[in-house]
A and B are shown apart, each in its own frame.
Chain A
Amino acid sequence: DSGVTQTPKHLITATGQRVTLRCSPRSGDLSVYWYQQSLDQGLQFLIQYYNGEERAKGNILERFSAQQFPDLHSELNLSSLELGDSALYFCASSEGDSATNEKLFFGSGTQLSVL
């Protein structure tokens, strides 16, 4: 058990809908990362927050947004969903932010299916 909690584990929804994925980091970790894993795109970095602030951005669509709350949990909001958004969404956490040796601890992921 990595200590990172993601809910829900599975989500099935329709095109055009909006969903929220939730992540609680390991105790003591200040950074939260979101990744999208699909068969054709591999593991893609979306966005990172550190202690409530956005720090790094990757290939995140404008339809997607995220935030990190004062209690350090994070939410990833996906709107106007398309079939291609179907993927496994991982949250990861790390202690800090500014080092090359930050080891990421991953949650078990949320499997999103857009029908």
Chain B
Amino acid sequence: AQKITQTQPGMFVQEKEAVTLDCTYDTSDQSYGLFWYKQPSSGEMIFLIYQGSYDEQNATEGRYSLNFQKARKSANLVISASQLGDSAMYFCAMRELDTGGFKTIFGAGTRLFVKA
């Protein structure tokens, strides 16, 4: 079964508008971490934002915020005031304790296109 599900293979957003990228996860652990990473066309993976499972407040980092709904096991990324440079692949990831140690696993990603 998929641990991290990103149901939107591709998304379009108009420049300066907000966009939400969906992510649902599956875990039986009480303690885990949720992350979003950005991969521009140049290929590098860039950390964007982190949310801990015990954090009561939604995480925010500049124009990025994470809409954390624990009961629904969702961790959606909201990008406000989209910019052309936001066009990239976005990955949701979860870190949890598995047999042998902590693992960070990634979803399939969502490709975001920002239109001028």
Contacts and interface: CB of A to CB of B under 8 A. Distances in A.
Nearest to B42: A108
Contact of A43 (B31, B100, B101, B106): B106
A100 B45 contact: no
Given A33-B104, A56-B98, A56-B100, 18 more contacts: A2-B44, A42-B106, A42-B109, A43-B109, A56-B101, A56-B102, A56-B103, A57-B100, A88-B43, A97-B102, A100-B53, A102-B33, A103-B35, A103-B47, A104-B37, A106-B46, A108-B44, A109-B44
A12 interface: no
Contact of B104 (A2, A45, A57, A88): A45
Interface of B: 31-33, 35, 37, 43-47, 50, 52-53, 91, 95-98, 100-109
Contacts of B98: 56
B52 A101 contact: yes
Interface of A: 2, 33, 35, 42-43, 45, 48, 50, 55-58, 88, 90, 92, 97-109
Contact of B103 (A58, A98, A105): A58
Nearest to A106: B45
Contacts, number: 74
Nearest to A102: B95
7 smallest CB-CB distances across A and B, nearest first, come from A56-B101, A100-B33, A106-B45, A55-B101, A43-B106, A42-B108, A56-B100
8 contacts: A2-B46, A33-B104, A43-B91, A45-B104, A56-B102, A103-B50, A106-B45, A108-B43
B40 to A, nearest CB: 11
Contacts of A42: 106-109
A103 B93 CA distance: 11
Contacts of A101: 33, 50, 52, 95
Contact of A105 (B32, B47, B95): B47
Contact of A104 (B44, B47, B101): B47
